[in-house]
Structure 1
Amino acid sequence: MNKTISILGCGWLGLPLAISLTKKGYNLKGSNTTDRNSKIFKNHNIKPYIVNIGTYNDITDFLTANVLIIAITNKNSTDFNRLIANIEKSTIENVIFISSTSVYPNTNDVVTETNPTQNTPLAEIENLFRTNTNFNTTIVRFAGLFGYNRKPGNFIKPDKQIENPEGFINLIHQDDCINIIEKIITTNCWNETLNACADSHPKRKEFYTKEVLKLRNEKPKVNENSLNEYKIVSNEKLKKLLQYEFKVNNLMNCND
């Protein structure tokens, strides 16, 4: 297995993903906008690059790979049009674009990949990749990210209230994010749009009260007058297509 994978954006998700992929025998190239992770990269046989798609620099060598995973927060369509033009001239055959379930509006109902999205920059960027026929793209819409140093209890700051307390949670653990991306690569699951979140959807008040108590030993305040708008993100397509079973599934029993 000599497939080369480039990861654009080696932060909270991209860096542990890169390390995991190297352990499975892939050749890895990783980027940040600075050299802050270069020592970690070298320790794990990841070739380091400094890439900022908002400024022009030659990324030909970085894009000399089979698969490109895009895990950055930039939402500027001009920057992505420039990136796509570079991908078209490269050896990249397949792209995994990390998106978010935030593209869906709150419907107070279950949403699937067939639901309409909001008119947002992220949805627009998704479409730039989806309609490009020069390479294959799978779009993964991750729910709220948590795990390890990203504690859900910290999502509710001490001076803030829990909004929409009767609404429902959509979250996914870092381990499942990594496992799902690896499964997409190993099964050649391309040209798909997939929702990725845990099966369980506890109510916000119940879940965040539990998580805040774990960190601060105090109950958070609750805005009982908020509108309780929500969506419940379905992961059924992903589980069926990838034959995937979530590692961290029951959010009320999660100890991370």
Structure 2
Amino acid sequence: MIKSVCIVGCGWFGLPLAKALVAGGVKVFGSKRLQTEVLSLQKLGINGFRLDLDDDAMLAQERTDIARALSADCLVINIPPGLRKDPDAYLLRLAKLKQLIDAKNYKKVIFVSTTGVYPQVDKVLSEQDACAHSEISTKLLQAEALFSELDNSVTVRFAGLVGPQRHPGRFLAGKTGLLDASAAVNLVHLNDCILAVSTLLFNQTSRGVYNVCAPLHPTRQAFYSQAARELGLVEPQFSESEQVTEPSAEDTRVTGKQICSERLCSELNFEYQFSNPIDMLLAC
């Protein structure tokens, strides 16, 4: 039975996950880089601890508290990659974390990754289709490999994240001459991310890699035009040569990569709260 979970990285996703687990009666340890943020976690019933993987002095000074937190039944690793700023720093942080957890035997280790590991190809992509197609994807796959060898490990690959403070209507509003009007939208709502990770945590049979992406894929033109309208913003304009005549029509051909999350649904009977990105717009 899982009684405690440690979440490394209580940010936009990690904090709501921590709150959900606490509400379910689980003892949660959650990390923040700054002490002031640690105190804010404690006010929410989360056992906050400071963890800055860039600060070796801090790691030595706080080693007792860190070791206690990392000794939870399960571990969720949710460290933002930030690969565009410093590709190597991400892997260094993860390597330090792996040293800190040492030989601990967790009931479950969840590593949060992204669907950036998939190439831009015109097809439906499942978990085995990941490849090192760019510098960023190479780093992401190396990061996944650090923890995939651990017992009871699971990697979740989130599609584009939307939810509170991340309304997609702002992503392309007012832009002109955009390409790929018919390209598939691959998004997932925060609520479904929380539900998916919670499901994987408490399911003894879950192993390996799972995509977490809404099953339906509207076109970029249909989705982002609707998203901008929802906020009263200027709709994005796509290149005339690429515009879809009836972007919302059911028979409109969607192009580009489409992330498949069938494994999560079929193996664990998972049901998305928001199976269509259009439905997410009112919950952002």
So what's the TM-score if we normalise by structure 1? 0.90
What does 1:168-247 correspond to in 2, within 5 Å? 168-224=184-240, 230-247=256-273
C-alpha contact (below 8 Å) 2:38/2:50 kept by paired residues: no
Partner of 2:8: 8
Unmatched 5+ stretches in structure 1: none
> Aligned pair count?
253
Partner secondary structure for residue 69 of structure 2: coil
Contact 1:110/1:232, CA 8 A, preserved across alignment: yes
Q: CA deviation at 1:52?
A: 1.9
Which residue matches 1:62?
69
Letter in 2 for 1:49: F
Q: What do the CA deviations read for 1:119-150 (whole angstroms, capped 9, x no partner)?
A: 521111111211x24x3210000110001221
Determine the C-alpha separation between the residues in 1 that align with 2:274 and 2:267: 19
Residues 1:38 and 1:53: Cα distance change in structure 2 (over 3 Å): closer
Instruction: Show the counterpart of 1:84.
Output: 98
One-letter code aligned to 2:51? V
Mean CA deviation greater in 74-83 or 157-166: 157-166
Q: Which has the larger radius of gyration?
A: 2
Q: Deviations over 1:165-207 (max 9, x none)?
A: 1100011011100011111112124432001111110000110
- Between the aligned partners of 2:22 and 2:224, the Cα distance in structure 1 is 35
Aligned to 1:114, the other structure's residue is in SS state helix
Q: Does 1:108 align with 2:141?
A: no
Separation in 2, partners of 1:11, 1:44? 14
Residue identity over aligned pairs, in percent, reads 30
Structure 2 length normalisation: TM-score? 0.82
2:249 corresponds in structure 1 to none
Change (3 A) 1:90 1:214: same
- Given the superposition, is the C-alpha separation of residues 204 and 91 from structure 1 closer, same or farther in structure 2, using an over 3 Å criterion? same
2:106 touches 2:152 (CA, 8 Å); kept in 1?
Answer: no
SS in 2 for 1:139: strand
Letter in 2 for 1:249: S
Q: Secondary structure at the match of 1:221?
A: coil
Q: Cα–Cα, structure 1 residues 36 and 159, in superposed 2: closer, same or farther, change >3 Å?
A: farther
User: Are positions 1:73 and 2:97 aligned together?
Assistant: no
Measure, in 2, the Cα distance between the counterparts of 1:216 and 1:161: 20
- The aligned counterpart of 1:47 is 47
Structure 1: how far apart are the matches of 2:231 and 2:262? 32
What SS is found at the alignment partner of 2:17?
helix
**Deviations 1:21-40, CA, capped at 9 Å, x for gaps:** 00111000111112353344
Residue 110 of structure 2 corresponds to which residue in structure 1? Answer: 96
* Structure 2 unaligned spans of 5+: 84-89, 243-253
Alpha-carbon shift at residue 106 of structure 1 (Å): 1.1
